[in-house]
Chains A and B, each alone.
Chain A
Amino acid sequence: MTRENWIFAVFLAAVLAAACAAPFMVRPYSLEILIIFMINLILVCSYRIPAMTGDWSLSHVVMMGVGAYTTALISQQWELSILLTVPLSAIVAGIVGYIIVMPMIRTRGFGFFIASFAIGEFVRLTWVKFRDVFGGPRGMIGIPSGEIGAIDLFFPVPKYFFVLVIALICLTIMYRLGRSRIGSTFTAIYKDEELAEAIGINVPHYRALAFATGTFFAGIAGALLAHHLGAIDPKNFDINTMVYLIIWIVVGGSATFWGPIVGLIVMTFAFEWSRPLLEWRPLLFGGILIFFLVFLPGGLESLWGKIRDRLAPRGGGGEGPASSAAADE
């Protein structure tokens, strides 16, 4: 391994150690924030998968909702272990994702974006309309927290570790996916779709695969959220929440695997610290969104790239951070 990779590995190990020690060192309320953070971590990384092929959607949070509602419905009917509800919900979310991306496959860019907004709303409205099944505007309640053997996941510490383990597994899979051949195919489609087609890549197939994989992991986040909250309603998954997800990605950047994570971390702090602002908060986040899109569209990770370039200039001309999409760190 290179020296850089060693430093990075040590850094990761340190983060992991801190994560394990956290429940015993932080205030009880901070544990709550960490649990929500990890669920959001899975969500934000999952958004990047279809984004790798160039498909940005506005339906991602609704897909998380599909996972959550599936968990709620399953829990109502059968007494399944949480170790089953989570993957089942994820599979359903993946399937639903595959179904809804089909009609959109002929569009790209802004058309895809807007179509995903509409179809996402359609799905969300079915939860509102079909009250007998989904609970309507009031949503569904009574979702159990889950238990593993004798450990009751209602309590914050066991729940924290459970979510931590799931998050690590998911993130590892998503990371490996990004660096795999499939991942390279995704980015190839993004960089030059015509060329990819010319060399025989079945573009619609890979785009649908990326989209469904993204929604699969969003479904996991949704299932975890449902078990955590015990009650869900359509409001949890509306366009407001979707815009916040976009803010995390925009602030962090989406060129590398780490961009969205950085964005989430920064914005989670911003969200908690800005609580005293009360009603003014959405204004702050609207401003942040505009600022980044206008002045720093590559996100904070592009800033990092710029700093590194300054400190250790690479040979062979300026390789901008935006073009290093394939060079995952």
Chain B
Amino acid sequence: MDLPTIIQTVANSIVAGSVYAVIAVGLAMAFGVMKMANFAHGEFFMVGAYTVYVFYALMGWPFPAAVLMAIPVVALLGVATERFIFRPTRENVLAGFMATAGLAFIMQVLVGQIWGVGLMRSVPTPYMGAMDLAGARVGWQRVIVIPSAAVMLLALWYFLRHMKAGKALRACAQDPETARLQGININRMTMLAMAISGALAGLAGALMAPIHPVTPYMGHSVILTAFIVVVMGGMDSIAGAIIAAVLLGFIHTFVTTLSDAVTAQMVGVACMAVVLIVRPQGLLGRVKA
């Protein structure tokens, strides 16, 4: 691989890693708080992309405003999912997970019916042109993903560390029983967790809308990667998810460039299998008692 290609691939890897990180953190957060495993997380991503399609491409809002709209839309979706699917199945992780698989079907059909199942929806690229980076050219649209992801994750970190609701959330994830005894309302925490989880997935989708083809099935390409990242990082560890996301971003991108996308998928899955055998709790996960 020559130097420009390496630089190009590194740049692509960082972008990929950033997107994986935002998506996976949402998943890890939901799982950490009361073990909510969301199979429809990819569909949350998809709805975020469609939010931008509707507000930016169809209604002409400025791009940043359309992206921010993804927050309330998908957060609401997250809350509804928690209330109607995860809460009744709280005793059974598997049941909740499979029920969200059903939710994924529903969302795909609804979105397809409302906005059509054509070959793809086109979202204009708001920031055309590319940045020249020592021989590599990265589209501006892709470049802005990196600081956007960083801002989101920093905001999340601040929230969890320094704000009351965030601290309560962490307490709940650490030890729900003790948290309940301390007077924390578990139901409120699970709703909050799903709201944040949804918002993160939606924002990732919104940022990717001009880059990734927008179809009702775009969640498919995201969900397996998201779970690989989360398993590798530790099912409930946010820091683990970020590290694993960047790692997988590099692995996927380099393998795709050197070989092809199918091999990259297989390598990713193989990494996950290795982690499960050698260290089932993931890189930074806690060993279950």
Contacts and interface: CB of A to CB of B under 8 A. Distances in A.
A118 B227 contact: yes
A290 B276 contact: no
B102 A56 contact: no
Interface string A113-131: 1110111011001101100
B102 A285 contact: yes
B177 to A, nearest CB: 19
B84 A107 contact: no
B205 to A, nearest CB: 20
A43 B93 CA distance: 24
A287 interface: yes
Nearest to B230: A114
Nearest to B282: A111
A9 B131 CA distance: 76
Interface stretch (A155-163, A188-196, A275-283, A303-311): A275-283
Given A121-B224, A294-B84, A246 B98 contact: yes
Nearest to A113: B94
B151 interface: no
A104 to B, nearest CB: 7
Contacts of A117: 224, 227
B51 interface: no
A57 to B, nearest CB: 11
A121 B99 contact: no
B269 A125 contact: yes
Contacts of A111: 231, 235, 276, 280
A125 B262 contact: yes
Interface in A237-272: 243, 246-247, 250
Given A293-B95, A294-B88, A288 B273 contact: no
Contact of B99 (A56, A129, A279, A294): A294
B263 interface: yes
* The 9 residue pairs across chains A and B that have the minimum distance between CB atoms: A286-B105, A289-B102, A286-B102, A283-B109, A286-B106, A293-B99, A282-B105, A290-B102, A122-B269
Given A114-B227, A290-B103, 19 more contacts: A111-B276, A111-B280, A114-B231, A115-B272, A117-B224, A118-B231, A118-B273, A125-B262, A125-B265, A126-B266, A247-B102, A250-B98, A279-B109, A279-B113, A282-B106, A283-B109, A285-B105, A293-B96, A297-B89
Nearest to B88: A294
A110 B97 contact: yes
B92 interface: yes
A103 B113 contact: no
B117 A283 contact: no
Contacts of A286: 101-106, 109
Interface in B69-103: 84-85, 88-89, 92-99, 101-103
Interface SS of chain A: helix, strand, loop or mixed?
helix
Contact of B102 (A104, A109, A128, A287): A287
Contacts of A126: 266
Interface of B: 35, 37, 84-85, 88-89, 92-99, 101-106, 108-110, 112-113, 117, 224, 227-228, 231, 235, 262-263, 265-266, 269-270, 272-273, 276-277, 280
A226 B66 CA distance: 49
Nearest to B117: A279
Contacts of B270: 122
A118 B272 contact: yes
10 contacts: A103-B276, A107-B276, A115-B276, A118-B228, A118-B272, A128-B262, A243-B102, A279-B113, A282-B109, A290-B102
A289 B99 contact: yes
Taking residues whose C-beta sits less than 8 angstroms from the other chain, chain A's interface range is 35 or more
A314 interface: no
Contacts of A110: 35, 37, 93-94, 97, 235
A252 B206 CA distance: 39
A109 B269 CA distance: 19
A106 interface: yes
Interface string A169-192: 000000000000000000000000
B83 to A, nearest CB: 11
Nearest to A115: B276
Nearest to A105: B277
A294 B97 CA distance: 11
Nearest to B271: A118
A129 B262 contact: yes
B283 to A, nearest CB: 15
A118 B229 CA distance: 12
B109 A280 contact: yes
A245 B112 CA distance: 24
A104 B85 CA distance: 28
B43 to A, nearest CB: 10
Nearest to B224: A121
A102 B98 CA distance: 24
A289 B101 contact: yes
A68 B77 CA distance: 40
Nearest to B87: A294
Given A110-B35, A118-B227, A129 B113 contact: no
Given A113-B97, A279-B112, A106 B277 contact: yes
A289 B85 CA distance: 11
